[in-house]
Amino acid sequence: MLKTMLYIAIGGAIGSVLRYLTTVLVSKFWSNQFPLATFITNVIGCFLIGLFIGILAKNNMTDSQLKWFLVTGFCGGYTTFSAFGMENFNLFQNNNSLIAFGYMALSILLGLFAVWLGLLLAK
């Protein structure tokens, strides 16, 4: 278990640094109000989690240290939106569309509410 946590930590650190670098790079070329850096990060993260899970499944490595490093660590450090995207994709694939739409709506609405509440409590 300690070895697995180490793989996740290293992957997460790399993902977090690359997220920061994505923000720095995008902000050099984009100064609009639209949060392009976060948008790009989320789309890239969703692509990468799909790619990694697909390659790992194809090679029967879904329970490997590489999965913990790439999926949980790297993608989790780069963006948790990738996990959100993958979970919803799985719900749709398993014919759980109603649950997927509910999950998306609740995540967005309660997430915004939680941000508002946290800011309110901090005042």
Q: Check pLDDT > 90 for residue 80.
A: no
Is 56 exposed, middle or buried, given 0-12, 13-18 or 19+ CB atoms closer than 10 A? Answer: middle
C-alpha separations of 99 from 50, 81, 92, 95 in Å: 20, 17, 9, 9
- Separation CA 21–CA 2 (nearest Å): 29
Q: Which pLDDT score is estimated for 81?
A: 87
Q: Which pLDDT score is estimated for 2?
A: 95
Q: Check pLDDT > 90 for residue 55.
A: yes
Q: Which pLDDT score is estimated for 29?
A: 92
Q: Check pLDDT > 90 for residue 101.
A: yes
79 labelled ligand-binding: yes
Q: Which pLDDT score is estimated for 34?
A: 82
Q: Check pLDDT > 90 for residue 104.
A: yes
Mean pLDDT, residues 7-30: 95
Q: Check pLDDT > 90 for residue 62.
A: no
Q: Which pLDDT score is estimated for 75?
A: 93
Q: Which pLDDT score is estimated for 105?
A: 95
Q: At what angle do helices 81-93 and 97-122 cross, to 10 degrees?
A: 160
Q: Check pLDDT > 90 for residue 28.
A: yes
Arithmetic mean of pLDDT over the chain: 92
Which of 22, 13, 19, 12 has the alpha carbon at shortest distance from 76?
12
76 labelled ligand-binding: yes
